[in-house]
Structure 1
C-alpha cells in the first residue's frame, strides 16, 4: 500500500491557536513576500489567521524577519529542506 510511503506529518507550528493576521494583513503579506524572498519562495496561503509561507530553506532567519516586518502571530515560514538527525 502507498500509505507505507507517506511522510510523517510535522507537528502543528501554531499549537492549535488562531493567528492574528486579518484578511487585509494576509493579502498584503502575500503580495510582498514573493518578491522579498525571490527564488527561495515556493508558495503561500492563509488559514485561520496565519499566512503560511513555504520556502526552500529557512534556518530561522526568514521567520525572524517576518515577525519583525509583520508582527508576531501572523506568518509561519516553513522550510522544504530540513535537517536530518
Structure 2
C-alpha cells in the first residue's frame, strides 16, 4: 500500500513540475485542493501560488479568471478585483 502511495505522490510531483502555463497551474492547484491532498505538496503549492501571482494572466475564460482570483485570495494574496 505504501509503495502505491509513494508512486502516486511522485506522479503528482511530476505534474507540478510539468505545468508550463498559468492555466495548467491554476487547474492543477485547484484539483489538488479539491481532492484534499494539498497538505502533502505544501512546497509545490507555495511555489505554484507564487508563480500564479507573478505571471501575467490574460485569459478569455471567465472561469479561469475567477479560479485564479479565488485561489490567490484564499491563500491570503492580495489581488485587485478590477
TM-score by length of 2: 0.32
TM-score by length of 1: 0.32
Task: Looking at secondary structure, tell me which structure has more strand per residue.
Answer: 1
Task: Looking at secondary structure, tell me which structure has more helix per residue.
Answer: 2
